[in-house]
Amino acid sequence: MKRKALRALAVLLLLAADTFITWNISHTVLSQPTGTVAPLAAVDPLDQFRLEREQLTARQEAQLNDIIYNDKTDADTVARAQAQLLSLLGRREQEMDLEGILQSRGFDGALVSVGERSANVLLCQEAVTSQESAVILDLVMRQTGLTGGNVKIIPVK
């Protein structure tokens, strides 16, 4: 019984976080000293992508946990769901690690998306030098185990 209660609590927390994030973004306004309301600033596409990635990951996690903790799910399906969950969490950890390392290397706002067979690195700059590309490519390949042909570096401005 504890397992079901914990699962239900986890799902509720994920849904609450998702709802709060969505509400917070759609209701954010900047107040001016005169009491007037300024228009919302344009949303950065990388920030929007990052938010959508986090929401999607939370939904996928919740769905996999529903499968794993459902008493009617057979053992083979539970094992596959557990493997998918571990893979999802591993890729998310790689993304966070790479984004942190890139930030420490001066690539502010870098966004990394790691899939099973590929990775994309989006950078907030006009262009990327060949030296920067080599450093980023080496870093992503070492962190993910992917080959160079499966890593894309995309400048976004």
Task: Report the CATH number that the domain containing residue 103 is assigned in CATH.
Answer: 1.10.287.4300
Residue 24 in any domain: the answer is no
Rounded-to-integer distance, Cα 112 and Cα 67, Å: 28
Which of 67, 66, 58, 63 is CA-nearest to residue 17? 58
Residue 141 in any domain: the answer is yes
Look at the chain and report how many structural domains it folds into.
1
Maximum Cα interatomic distance, the chain, rounded to a whole number of Å: 63
Q: What is the pLDDT of residues 71-100, one digit of tens each?
A: 999 999 999 999 999 999 999 999 999 999
Neighbouring residues of 15: CB distance < 8 A, sequence distance ≥ 6: 62
Question: What is the pLDDT, as a whole number, of residue 157?
Answer: 78
Residue 87 in any domain: the answer is yes
Question: What is the pLDDT, as a whole number, of residue 35?
Answer: 54
Q: How many C-beta neighbours within 10 Å does residue 140 have?
A: 25
CA-based R_g, the chain, Å: 20
Name the residue range of residue 68's domain: 2-19+43-156
Residue 88 in any domain: the answer is yes
68, pLDDT greater than 80: yes
Per-residue pLDDT, averaged over 96-109, amounts to 93
CA dihedral 119, 124, 126, 128 (to 10 degrees): -40
Residue 70 in any domain: the answer is yes
Confidence of residue 45 (pLDDT cuts 50, 70, 90): confident
Rounded-to-integer distance, Cα 113 and Cα 52, Å: 12
55, pLDDT greater than 70: yes
Question: What is the pLDDT, as a whole number, of residue 34?
Answer: 52
Confidence of residue 103 (pLDDT cuts 50, 70, 90): very high
Q: In a 3-state reduction of DSSP, which class is residue 155?
A: strand
Q: In a 3-state reduction of DSSP, which class is residue 132?
A: helix
Q: What is the pLDDT of residues 114-149, one digit of tens each?
A: 999 999 999 988 899 999 999 999 999 999 999 989
Running DSSP on this structure, what letter comes out for residue 1?
A: -
Chain position carrying tokens 């690539």: 107
Confidence of residue 6 (pLDDT cuts 50, 70, 90): very low
Per-residue pLDDT, averaged over 25-42, amounts to 49
Residue 126 in any domain: the answer is yes
